[in-house]
Chains A and B, each alone.
Chain A
């Protein structure tokens, strides 16, 4: 069970710890800087912080001592001839790193391996702990990549990386907007695996194209890795065959729109969502912040709000803003208006972290 959460926010990294009196801020790193995402490497306990400094670009920092000190690492870089070509009619642009959107650790038998998902749609791999990065050209050079486009951003982005616990050479990624892709060989050859998803907002003749699906978040059950959940732009989809096929989960209450999803590490039928009014508004339904939980694979949902705000709340939870710890005992989520809540009973009861944080971009158990 994890007693520590890394809250990546618009104005710094906040280390939240559970003490005798409950959760509180134990340490603040990079105060004032935009921290897009943090990875806590389960292999050696190192923390990686992806900074989005705006003026000065994207940066990567590593701490081996729980955030007391940090060392800067190189960031992934595109080649001089790489171009971002998108399927939505934007003119081609030189490929430059816009956002280091997510990081993932390789398998236990792959020391030094890290994965980085970026905007504009490049997946990078490091085999030396982040000292150097290689663009996965087997994906980048695919013709389908030029059909991807940005969801909320100008360019497409890779926000979800699931390293298969059975075989870490097998990796699945979620792309907004570019569906779900899988490699079985460390990133050389890629297969598009989003059949069954549909994009309700596209012209009818293109709605079923797997490559155009706006995946907001992809998660994988650790104990049953063929069980995958996706929060998609127009709903929730589930796969029980490793992504070969997907079916819609329409029963999410109070709405099917959202960004975040978490799956229980041992119970593939148990997942949580933080629904919102669909795309043009992106606020909780009726100003009431709730979590939706299914325990039966999406057949039914329970709306959970014990301990969440009773007054009107317009918190939006981003795709990395909902986290579950490795044991499944603890859940945490945090919002763009700086609220953070933790549950120690599967979401039945929530406890507000006593702080008004900057807008939260990601929550990571460490």
Chain B
């Protein structure tokens, strides 16, 4: 079970979302498996995090236990029980 933290800018697109971040406990032993669990719970989020080819969007950043995932397409990065996965948007644009 990993703990997934969705940044407010992403979480606000969920129905009935508030203003803050959303924390979910999701089973899975890899980034991809955990994200699939998030998307199963909130299908609308898939297209916000991944593009239509399944790659993490260019301006979306994933941090696993505090370390950014350098290769955005490497969804097989392992997570251990209690890992924290942060999903946030890069601070670009204006």
A75 to B, closest residue via Cβ: B47
Query: Is the C-beta of A78 less than 8 angstroms from some C-beta in chain B?
Result: yes
A95 to chain B, nearest CB (A): 9
Please report the C-alpha to C-alpha distance between residue A59 and residue B52 in the assembled complex, in whole angstroms: 12
Stretch from A49-57, A183-191, A320-328 contacting the other chain: A49-57
Contact status A56-B52, CB under 8 Å: no
Q: Which residues of B contact A80 (CB under 8 A)?
A: 53
A interface, size bucket: 10 to 19
User: Contact partner of B53 among A54, A59, A74, A96, CB < 8 A?
Assistant: A96
Q: Which residues of A contact B90 (CB under 8 A)?
A: 55
User: Contact partner of B52 among A53, A55, A97, CB < 8 A?
Assistant: A97
Query: Is the C-beta of B80 less than 8 angstroms from some C-beta in chain A?
Result: no
Contact status B44-A55, CB under 8 Å: no
Which residues in window 285-313 of A have CB below 8 A to B? none
Q: Which residues of B contact A59 (CB under 8 A)?
A: 47
Query: Is the C-beta of B59 less than 8 angstroms from some C-beta in chain A?
Result: yes
State whether A78 and B52 are in contact (beta carbons under 8 Å apart), knowing that A54-B93, A55-B9, A56-B10 are contacts in the complex: yes
| Cβ proximity bits B4-15 to A, threshold 8 Å, 1 near / 0 not | 000001100100
B18 to chain A, nearest CB (A): 16
Query: Is the C-beta of B89 less than 8 angstroms from some C-beta in chain A?
Result: yes
Query: Is the C-beta of B51 less than 8 angstroms from some C-beta in chain A?
Result: yes
Query: Is the C-beta of B72 less than 8 angstroms from some C-beta in chain A?
Result: no
State whether A96 and B89 are in contact (beta carbons under 8 Å apart), knowing that A55-B59, A56-B60, A57-B47 are contacts in the complex: no
Which residues in window 166-193 of A have CB below 8 A to B? none
Query: Is the C-beta of B48 less than 8 angstroms from some C-beta in chain A?
Result: yes
Q: Which residues of B contact A72 (CB under 8 A)?
A: 13, 44
Query: Is the C-beta of B57 less than 8 angstroms from some C-beta in chain A?
Result: yes
A79 to B, closest residue via Cβ: B52
Interface size on B, residues (CB 8 A): 17
Contact status B53-A57, CB under 8 Å: no
User: Contact partner of B93 among A55, A74, A97, CB < 8 A?
Assistant: A55
Query: Is the C-beta of A94 less than 8 angstroms from some C-beta in chain B?
Result: yes
B50 to chain A, nearest CB (A): 9
Which residues in window 68-116 of A have CB below 8 A to B? 72, 74-75, 77-78, 80, 94, 96-97
Please report the C-alpha to C-alpha distance between residue A55 and residue B53 in the assembled complex, in whole angstroms: 16
Q: Which residues of B contact A55 (CB under 8 A)?
A: 9, 57, 59-60, 89-90, 92-93
State whether A96 and B48 are in contact (beta carbons under 8 Å apart), knowing that A54-B59, A55-B93 are contacts in the complex: no
Q: Which residues of A contact B49 (CB under 8 A)?
A: 56
B80 to chain A, nearest CB (A): 28
Contact status A56-B57, CB under 8 Å: yes
Q: Which residues of B contact A53 (CB under 8 A)?
A: 48
A203 to chain B, nearest CB (A): 34
Contact status B44-A57, CB under 8 Å: no
Q: Which residues of A contact B9 (CB under 8 A)?
A: 55-56
| Cβ proximity bits B37-59 to A, threshold 8 Å, 1 near / 0 not | 00000001001110111000101
Please report the C-alpha to C-alpha distance between residue A78 and residue B92 in the assembled complex, in whole angstroms: 26
Please report the C-alpha to C-alpha distance between residue A139 and residue B60 in the assembled complex, in whole angstroms: 32
Contact status B52-A96, CB under 8 Å: yes
Contact status A56-B89, CB under 8 Å: yes
B13 to chain A, nearest CB (A): 7
Please report the C-alpha to C-alpha distance between residue A315 and residue B88 in the assembled complex, in whole angstroms: 35
- What are 6 A-B pairs at a CB distance below 8 A? A55-B9, A55-B57, A56-B13, A56-B59, A56-B89, A75-B47
By Cβ-Cβ distance, the 7 closest A-B pairs, closest first, are: A55-B89, A55-B59, A56-B48, A77-B52, A54-B93, A96-B51, A96-B52
Given A74-B47, A96-B51: 12 more A-B contacts, CB < 8 Å: A53-B48, A55-B57, A56-B10, A56-B49, A56-B60, A57-B47, A57-B48, A57-B51, A72-B44, A75-B47, A77-B52, A78-B52
